[in-house]
Chains A and B, each alone.
Chain A
Amino acid sequence: GQQLNQSPQSMFIQEGEDVSMNCTSSSIFNTWLWYKQEPGEGPVLLIALYKAGELTSNGRLTAQFGITRKDSFLNISASIPSDVGIYFCAGRMNTGFQKLVFGTGTRLLVSP
């Protein structure tokens, strides 16, 4: 099955820094979702995007649905230690069912 190209694979940053990660696809998507997963737990939905160009915030997190509908990015501002985890993007193509395609994840480590 298809997987999305997500970058970077990992990031090690200092507390207070801003973070940016992105996902790209060769296919057009009608939905982009961003999830965070902590060790031993399931992914938790952070932000859902439904329209090309849409920019949505959730606290210190901001995500955008790319104009081409083939990419999305997630920014985290003023990172804190509890931001540590793996961030996954997921996209849904323009089909009749909600089958999601997942990125390979960005592992974020934050140093206090």
Chain B
Amino acid sequence: DGGITQSPKYLFRKEGQNVTLSCEQNLNHDAMYWYRQDPGQGLRLIYYSQIVNDFQKGDIAEGYSVSREKKESFPLTVTSAQKNPTAFYLCASSILDRGPNQPQHFGDGTRLSIL
């Protein structure tokens, strides 16, 4: 089945540790996105990428880093500089070549907690 796969489902981070969240899609989508979700809030954009080897900061990029070495993959690293990393992280993707209005489709998320 085509879709977006996020792993792991649950992740724990120790103080001062970097952790990497995986996002893989087999939909042949061009654009990929990372969002953070906190209780009672909407989704906030961390980073996005329209094409391989290119990405841009979203609204809350501080303390996070990404890479886009392959079209299918867009891993997110939560660095030790992110002081409040506990949240639900969602990856999304969308088509670009049919115009700018294609909806984003989401993975099932990774819940990150601090030990």
Contacts and interface: CB of A to CB of B under 8 A. Distances in A.
Given A1-B60, A99-B45, A100-B104, 13 more contacts: A1-B45, A6-B42, A31-B103, A42-B6, A42-B107, A88-B42, A90-B43, A90-B104, A97-B100, A98-B94, A102-B44, A104-B41, A104-B42
Nearest to A100: B104
A50 B101 contact: yes
Interface in A63-102: 88, 90, 92, 96-102
Interface of B: 4, 6, 31, 40-45, 48, 50, 58-60, 90, 92, 94, 96, 100-109, 111
Main secondary structure of the interface of A (DSSP, over half): strand
A45 B105 contact: yes
A65 B105 CA distance: 20
A99 B106 CA distance: 14
Nearest to B43: A102
Interface residues of A, number: 29
A104 to B, nearest CB: 5
B101 A98 contact: yes
22 contacts: A1-B45, A1-B59, A31-B101, A33-B103, A33-B104, A40-B109, A41-B109, A42-B4, A42-B108, A42-B109, A44-B106, A45-B103, A48-B103, A92-B101, A96-B100, A98-B100, A98-B102, A99-B45, A100-B43, A101-B42, A102-B44, A104-B42
Contact of B108 (A41, A88, A96, A103): A41
Contacts of B104: 33, 45, 90, 98, 100
B60 to A, nearest CB: 7
Contacts of B6: 42
A105 B108 contact: no
